[in-house]
Each structure stands twice: as C-alpha cells, then as structure tokens.
Amino acid sequence: MEKRIDGKAIAAAVRGQVKTDTAAMKADGITPGLAVVLVGDDPASRTYVRNKHKDCEETGIYSEVHHLPDSTSQKDLMALIAELNARADIDGILVQLPLPKGLDEREVINAIAPDKDVDAFHPENVGHIMIGDYTFLPCTPSGVMEMLHHEQIPVDGKRCVVVGRSNIVGKPMAMLLLHENGTVTICHSHTQKLKEICQEADILVAAVGRPKFITADMVKPGAVVIDVGMDRDENGKLCGDVDYAAVEPIASRITPVPGGVGPMTRAMLLKNTLTAARLHHRQAQPSDRE
C-alpha cells in the first residue's frame, strides 16, 4: 500500500462530485453562490482567494470576490457583510483571514449569518459542532476526515493526538475525531512530555505552524500522520509541521506538504457552499441570477 495519502487526488474526486451536484441543482433553477471578501494585499491570501475562485469556476459555483484596500474601516467591512447576508443569490460568505491590523476578526466572524458561514467559524456553528448536530464543518478538519474516510483509516477506538489548539483547526479537529469514537488528546505549548504523548498516537495530527516540528522520535511505528502545517524551512522551501523525510519510513500512512491537506481544505469549502445552497433553497426556488 502506498504510504503517501494523495490529497490532490482525493480533492479532485470531491470537486468532481461537487460539479455533478451543482449541475443537478442548476437544472432545478438553483445556482449556488459564494462571496469571498479579501482585505489588503497579503500575497498568501491573494493566492488562496484566486485558487478558491478557480475551484468555483471549475465546478459551476457562482463566485464573486470583494477585494478591499487594507485601509478599509471596520464600519465599511461590516456594511459589506450585512449586504451579503441580505442577498438571496449568495449562499456562502468567506472572509479571508488574517485581516489587517486594526480590524476586529471576532466581530467580523460573528456578523456573518450562521447559515452562510461556510468556514464554520461563527459561535453558533461552533456550538453545533461541539454537540454533533452541525450543518457546516471547518474546511481543514473536515478535509482531514474526508481523507481518513477515503483511505478507509478507522478512527473508532484509536488513540488520536492533535498538536495545536487553534479555533480553526486544532479544537474542531479534536471534536470530529471524538465524534467518531477516537480517544483524543490535544497538545499545545504548555503540554508536558509532548514527545511521550505523541508516541502513543495511532493517528497524529500536526497543526502547530512550526516547520518540521514533529520529528521521527515523536512518532509511533505504524502511526497515521496528518500534516496540516504550511511552513517554510531554513532554505525557504515549502514544508509542513512534520519532518517528512524522517517520519515517512516510520509511519504507516502520511500526508505530504504540499499536496496533502491543503487541496482538501479548498474542496471542502465547495461542499459547504452546496450545503448552504440546499439549506436556502429547500423549495427549489430559482436564484436571483436565473
């Protein structure tokens, strides 16, 4: 069996299904719509937004990008979100993070209508994830679960360790593993005996944002290693939170960087947008663009 989990191939399969589902919705007079808000000119954010727009074009989802200058005020940004909340032709709203200094991310996230929150960052959606009756899931953790399912890697009864406790990845990742009956430990900067805890993991998820942080001596032989990181090494080369070259011989399955979790994050955004469209058009009413 191939050790490397090919996120590009799995994401392509997800996009293919989204394209099929979108065509069926359009046949019923419904065009799913996604609005992406980008504030400022961060190069990485611009790349992410451009790729998301490309994914929408490929799958037939209507997409529009609102690119605002970094001088945009909180008031103007909130006004745009209110406008998008009110539009019947927009099913999903995504505000690209991080925002420039001076803008309140929490206020912005809280202002997005929960039924259009395709990032699943709104507190209402976070609460639903906690109790397991969610409509939307955060794109990166749900992408990881999609990979595990696709590769038929069981979670039930396994020791799962998540390194990183961010609201975007670490915490929801732990909840999704728990929902599938994994025994989950979350590690962070205050965790004692981190290496020993990681060595116990059947499934190890690295989401700490530090290049090659997970080394070979932290991984149990035969573990499944999921690398969520997107970093640069000492030579400026793209890498993850896992020292891939050292860990790959030890792991039973492992995700590469690039080509692992990253493509899945974008694919799951498309799925969330379709979910939002179905939610908004339960009676198959034509969208405003038809």
Task: Give me the active site residues, please.
Answer: 52, 96, 119
Whether cis (ω within 30° of 0) applies to the bond prior to 98 is: yes
Whether cis (ω within 30° of 0) applies to the bond prior to 221 is: no
Start-end of H helices in 225-260: 244-247
118: which 2 tokens? 């395709």
Instruction: Calculate the alpha carbon distances from 68 to 47, 64, 197, 223 in Å.
Output: 15, 13, 44, 44
- Are the beta carbons of 91 and 34 closer than 8 angstroms? yes
Exposure of 273 in the CB half-sphere (CA atoms within 13 A)? 35
CA-wise closest residue to 260 among 182, 206, 208 = 206
Please report where in the chains the tokens 């103007």 appear, as a residue: 76
